[in-house]
Structure 1
Amino acid sequence: MKLRLPSSTLALLCAAMLAPGGTQADDFTSVVKGALAASAATDLSVPGKGDSNWFFLRRELEHLQNGDLAAADLSKANKEGTDPVPVIAKYAKELKALGVELLVVPVPAKASIYPEKLDAKVEASSVPALAPFLAKLKAEGVEALDLEAEFKKVRTAEPANQLYCATDSHWSPAACRLVAHLVAAKYKTLPEVTAARLAGLTTLPAETREYHGDLLTDAQKGSVAKEKLPISRAGLGAGSSVTTVESSPASPIVVLGDSHLQVFRKGGNMLDSQGGFVDHLQVALGTPVQEFTMQAGGADGPRVEIARTSAKNPDFWSKKKVAIWVFTAREFTQGKWREIPAQVKKK
């Protein structure tokens, strides 16, 4: 017996399989694998087929080719052979025992939010969602912020609001500010935070700046135009300028993570200053935070620094209430994920 579908249903199914230009749409994970196969293993980045002005970090595409993280065996998918879930869960449990709440904030891969920039023929709905994997963390007692869902909301409501740099491996100034406010909304009413208020914190009106990001070689910088992005500076207000609020050991809030916490804050190869996540988080909270951030530190580096600090100062965690851990989601399959204690006790 043959199953006959109404013509209207067939039309809808066909439309769902077509890319915007009317051609056959491609599966996202297959597109990622194709982009990797078409590039050299030594390439730092892969230019977009959908938009030649956009570049994608090769290591991030290597992460994305694993598909649905929730269905993957991360002890095998992770290039170091380490499943991050039990490591993160143990760290969260240790912090909870110290009276500290952990919030994990994985930054989604750029191509998962802007798949059409990688390839115009990709079917956006075929991008594996990060939410099921974050649910696995939640089941182990880890609170995580689903930025993928938040970023897709912004893409729908404000399509002109660019959330990632086209030529850099990091999020944009707009994303820094957005995520800072999402995180601050969870903790700004804590008594310990309100008691540590700092007067004079402010955000300046946006200004447009030009950047060449870290995904371009020197040769490419000669042929690829600088991208223009709006940036709002945040800090202690002084007329039409602000002063950077530096890391504060007295803060009840600890922020740890990779270069996503340094971009647009530290300047130099981090593109700009006073417009990063930490800058906006401090203004949104109304208080300074203590930072443990580093470039190329992965998931381990900042935790090592915290462990060393706790060894020198046994009371380090005594007045801390929240630890906000921000890192690129590619660390789930690219990071080492060593078990590093939150508190090191001297023998």
Structure 2
Amino acid sequence: MNKKYLISVIVFSVLLLVPFGVQAVADLRGEKRFQPFDIFKDVVYTPIVREKKVAAAADSLDVKWRAAREAIAAGAEVADALEPVTSSLSDLEAAVLSVNTYAELDTSETRYKSLKLADTLLSKLEDEPESFPQADSCIKSLVADLGHVSLWRAFLDVKHYGVWTSRYLRAFENKIDDESAIVLALRPKYQLAVWNLFSDPGEKVVLGAAGNCIGKSCGREGSKPEDKWLFYRQDVEFLVQPSPLDVRSAKLDNPVKAIEKFRDQLKAKGVELLVVITPGKPSIYTERLTGRDSRVAGAENVAGLQSHGKKILDSLTRAGFNTVDLYTPLLAAKSRDSVDGALYLNDDTHWTPRGAELAADVIAKKVREMVDAGSVKFRGKDTVRYVASDSIADRMGDVGEMSGLNKFNVFKVQKVIGHVVMQQNIKIRDEELPEDTVCIDSAYKECMNRKKADKKDGKTTDVLCLLTSQTACALKAVKYDTTITPFKDDFRKSEILILGDSFSRIYQTDSPVNAGWIAHFAKNMNRPVASIVSDGGASTLVREKLARKASVLKGKKLLIWEFVERDLRFGAEGWKDVEF
């Protein structure tokens, strides 16, 4: 072989082996496993070990279920008897769903559906004892199917989820990429260099055009006119790609069909559905993305007015769904940004407290309209009282975090003022008055003295003091104690359940806490609420959470389903059917 070719081959081989060698040394010197060994392990070792774990977990479930049946028959509390069963079922799910180091069981598999059905049936038993035979049959079937080691099933799992499948290789490649010693050492410096040279914030981020929002109204003391906002790439891609209902998107799950089925499932349980599609930041602040001001004559805020999300929302409304339009009020509210601050955060996908509170007002108004129209009938009265107080919080934008540049302080913390909602509890403390002539005389005298004093001060006398002395003595002297407690979900008393994504979580469970739209909606309605929230998973994952806890629908009259518009295309797990 020609020497120059031989030298080229040697150099090329060394270059290929350097990353592998560096990673091997880093793994062997550290606490992390040697990742290439996972491939061998997942073909030879993992399938058998997993089958043994699954069989053991199924046997444990069988034992706990038999014990629970006997305990319930003996008169034990259902919830207490089922607690060990639920724990065993969770162990079985963990063993079955993780096929190997990098692949999860597909949700279309029969095993997956059987496990989720068992989970749902167990959660129903406490409130619906009549479902016991169905739960018993489901668990017995699971135990019969999974309670033994199956070499054939292990072989099929290796075949469908092993190293030769795309799902395994993609996950393996991502893991290698994320944990590579060379990548971890060089990537941050490379990202900073690209930012400094080309103003490129990374593959997940889109840099907006220069804006004119400066000073405190932007949340930054030292912001400048040339400062640019950051946008999440999926938010932008949602606007420029075909609609999820377009023929070019035929491979995607149809969100409208999923919403329709969910509405029908809830109706069967006596629960009304209210759909809330949250606009993405570029749909409201298109000019911040493109640099083209929508307020200029002749310019059109294409994203805000013609967003796929707004079109789908309008089609749902025309089809008879209960919906909330947040696009129109948010776009209108922009006119006061210079006074009240922006509706969305500079370097984040989410809205500011102002945007969240506006959404709460609009949603509450829609719910009151539904009550007035008779489509929702609440049993309880709106007697819960809430109060709000200012609280300052620092927000490091999630889009800025996605860029990987925050470790170099490229993007700054944004201060926001939230309004933390607290529940005002009023307790009545009463004291019986003795029913005798002394009481009657003293009560009458006190009433007349108070009436004279009030008249002198120009006040209206308390209506109790206008009663006869005998009636006044028969009544209790009522005194009120008022205490303030943190806002919290109330699954037992609430007739309203909220399903949501990170737009429902922000300010609610993270700083400043209890200042999100959910708390302000409860304050506007003077009603307790309950919520189930899944970041990025409001399309399917949050419904799966609800299906596993279907008993929380007991006593509910209204379900508010909030999800950001990009989830119509990019929702985690798509828009799958979820059985209740």
| TM-score bin, normalised by smaller chain | 0.7 to 0.9
Q: 2:512 matched to 1:272?
A: yes
Q: How far apart are residue 74 of structure 1 and its match?
A: 4.1
The within-5 A match list for 1:248-263 is 248-263=491-506
Which of 531, 537, 556 in structure 2 is aligned with 1:291?
531
Whole-angstrom distance in 2 between the partners of 1:309 and 1:45? 36
Q: 2:521 matched to 1:281?
A: yes
Q: How far apart are residue 44 of structure 1 and its match?
A: 2.3
Q: Which has the larger radius of gyration?
A: 2
Q: Which amino acid aligns with 1:58?
A: R
Q: How far apart are residue 240 of structure 1 and its match?
A: 12
Whole-angstrom distance in 1 between the partners of 2:241 and 2:568? 11
Note if contact 1:177-1:280 (Cα within 8 Å) is conserved in structure 2.
Answer: yes
Q: 2:305 matched to 1:134?
A: no
The within-5 A match list for 1:25-174 is 43-51=203-211, 52-66=227-241, 69=243, 73-74=245-246, 76-77=248-249, 81-121=252-292, 123-127=299-303, 128-129=306-307, 130-161=309-340, 162-174=342-354
Q: Secondary structure at the match of 2:287?
A: helix
Question: Match of 1:220?
Answer: 406
Note if contact 1:180-1:277 (Cα within 8 Å) is conserved in structure 2.
Answer: yes
Note if contact 2:253-2:575 (Cα within 8 Å) is conserved in structure 1.
Answer: yes
- Output one character per residue of 1:168-224: Cα deviation in whole Å (capped at 9) or x when no partner: 11111111111112212233566626526324x1112x3443321111135336022
Whole-angstrom distance in 1 between the partners of 2:487 and 2:266? 29
The within-5 A match list for 1:180-195 is 180-187=360-367, 192=378, 194-195=380-381
Q: Secondary structure at the match of 2:549?
A: helix
The within-5 A match list for 1:198-209 is 198-199=384-385, 201-204=386-389, 206-209=390-393
Q: How far apart are residue 66 of structure 1 and its match?
A: 2.2
Note if contact 2:377-2:557 (Cα within 8 Å) is conserved in structure 1.
Answer: no
Which of 419, 438, 460 in structure 2 is aligned with 1:232?
419
Q: Which amino acid aligns with 2:417?
A: P
- Output one character per residue of 1:77-103: Cα deviation in whole Å (capped at 9) or x when no partner: 37x611111111121122223221111
Q: How far apart are residue 151 of structure 1 and its match?
A: 0.5
Question: Match of 1:245?
Answer: 488
Q: Which moved more, 1:297-306 or 1:229-238?
A: 229-238
TM-score by length of 1: 0.75
Whole-angstrom distance in 2 between the partners of 1:317 and 1:253? 9
- Output one character per residue of 1:259-303: Cα deviation in whole Å (capped at 9) or x when no partner: 111111111xxx431211111111111122111112232411111
Q: Which moved more, 1:49-58 or 1:332-341?
A: 49-58
Q: How far apart are residue 40 of structure 1 and its match?
A: 7.8
Q: How far apart are residue 150 of structure 1 and its match?
A: 1.1
Tell me: CA distance 1:276–1:40, structure 2 relative to 1, closer, same or farther (3 Å).
Answer: same
Q: How far apart are residue 247 of structure 1 and its match?
A: 4.0
Aligned length: 292
Whole-angstrom distance in 2 between the partners of 1:197 and 1:76? 50
Q: Secondary structure at the match of 2:206?
A: strand
Note if contact 1:251-1:288 (Cα within 8 Å) is conserved in structure 2.
Answer: yes
Seq. identity, %: 24
Note if contact 1:234-1:275 (Cα within 8 Å) is conserved in structure 2.
Answer: yes
Note if contact 2:497-2:556 (Cα within 8 Å) is conserved in structure 1.
Answer: yes
Whole-angstrom distance in 2 between the partners of 1:55 and 1:242? 37
Q: 2:559 matched to 1:328?
A: no
Q: How far apart are residue 153 of structure 1 and its match?
A: 1.4
Q: How far apart are residue 318 of structure 1 and its match?
A: 4.3
From the two aligned structures, give the one with the greater helix fraction: 2
Where in structure 2 are there 5+ consecutive unaligned residues?
A: 1-197, 212-226, 294-298, 426-481
Whole-angstrom distance in 2 between the partners of 1:61 and 1:282? 32
Q: How far apart are residue 141 of structure 1 and its match?
A: 3.0
Whole-angstrom distance in 1 between the partners of 2:424 and 2:562? 26
Whole-angstrom distance in 2 between the partners of 1:240 and 1:167? 38
Q: Which amino acid aligns with 2:578?
A: I
Whole-angstrom distance in 2 between the partners of 1:193 and 1:280? 21
Whole-angstrom distance in 1 between the partners of 2:356 and 2:416? 12
Q: Which amino acid aligns with 1:291?
A: S
Tell me: CA distance 1:142–1:283, structure 2 relative to 1, closer, same or farther (3 Å).
Answer: same
- Output one character per residue of 1:127-175: Cα deviation in whole Å (capped at 9) or x when no partner: 3244432222124332221111110111135554421111111111111
Q: Which amino acid aligns with 1:60?
A: D
Tell me: CA distance 1:248–1:235, structure 2 relative to 1, closer, same or farther (3 Å).
Answer: farther
Q: Which amino acid aligns with 1:46?
A: V
Q: How far apart are residue 242 of structure 1 and its match?
A: 5.8
Question: Match of 1:197?
Answer: 383
Q: Which amino acid aligns with 2:388?
A: T
